[in-house]
Amino acid sequence: MSRADDRPVPPAAPGRRLLLKGAAVAGALAAVPAAASAAPGGAAPLANPLVRNRADPHIRRHTDGFYYFTATAPEYDRIILRRARTLNGLSTAQESVIWRKHATGDMGAHIWAPEMHRVGGKWYVYFAAAPAERVWDIRIWVLENSHPNPFRGTWVERGQVRTAWETFSLDATTFTHRGVRYLAWAQHEPDMDNNTALWLSEMANPWTLRGPQIRLSTPEYDWECVGFKVNEGASVIARNGRLFMTYSASATDANYCMGLLTVDADADLMDPANWRKSPTPVFTSSDTTRQYGPGHNCFTVDRDGRTDVLVYHARQYKEIDGDPLHDPNRHTRVQRLRWNADGTPDFGVPVADTAGALR
């Protein structure tokens, strides 16, 4: 998600015309090869789009054997949850609403980019929201559920994640490295010529930061500054003696793309000098597969527990009527993540739509 400087009115429910547009394009793409989503060893290929009209997807495979899925609903008014035994099963899994926006006050508008994490035996959802009366004063908020089953129990509002400034902030993700829990997020820094930069901090508990907050990356390359100067939607995967942090850049249309930061696993994560930024995007729109604006990704694993899977959203067309934030046809997509001989990730291109329904 990106901030619009002209502060448009909150989006209405997606129109039938936009939804039909997405469906029509999906049918036209069935003949495009989707070999990049094929599974090794003859396993069932991944079906795409995995979940329609769900942007900013987050999928985690839990120890109970289920995949848990949450994402931004295009009405920006609720937090949803699905689960299934397989990735493809998420397509048809029953969807539950675990929380709805407030009618007034805090957490009353722009419910964006939820992520669900298991921390200390409890479930936590990190998401972005704004007051109903000031819809662009977006901040990071946290829900907690102590029940082992996140579809049951009570989701308690733990409040706002307080950062160094009261400025536009969103897209929080959390991870642990060598016993330390971190939060990475996007935020506008006062007096900086950008929309958002990427930040990192250690955590005192699942809703409280501690110690310094360091800037990892700010938009500087041309491909990060198309439409808006944006670094957002961070996600971390640790492999081959390094941590790789992906992020998304530019406006949320066909220019949306992914960048990459890398740090050695033995390095101090809280020293910005230890992070290396790739000068070119690692995942971009493809006219060949007809997928546009891929980004806001996360990582999971296939059922074998070893094969890495890239999760992201993309549209099936370039042309968007009006503000891209009002277009509901960003669909959740998945594909196998390859690795280069030097141990770095090979993202390839966003895969084409799958012909038929593979479940």
Residue whose token pair is 């700010």: 218
Q: Let me know: does 282 contact 308? Beta carbons within 8 Å.
A: no
CA distance 125 to 106: 16
The reply to whether 342 belongs to the active site is no
Q: Let me know: does 56 contact 332? Beta carbons within 8 Å.
A: no
Cβ contacts of residue 77 below 8 Å, gap of 6+?
Answer: 100, 101, 111
Q: Which of 106, 232, 253, 353 is catalytic?
A: 232
SS3 of residue 159 by DSSP: strand
The reply to whether 271 belongs to the active site is no
DSSP, res 76:
S
Own/partner pairs, 207-211, CB within 8 angstroms, 24+ separation: 207/124, 207/142, 207/144, 207/158, 207/159, 207/161, 208/161, 208/162, 209/161, 209/162, 209/163, 209/183, 211/270
Residue whose token pair is 């009115």: 9
The catalytic residue positions are 56, 232
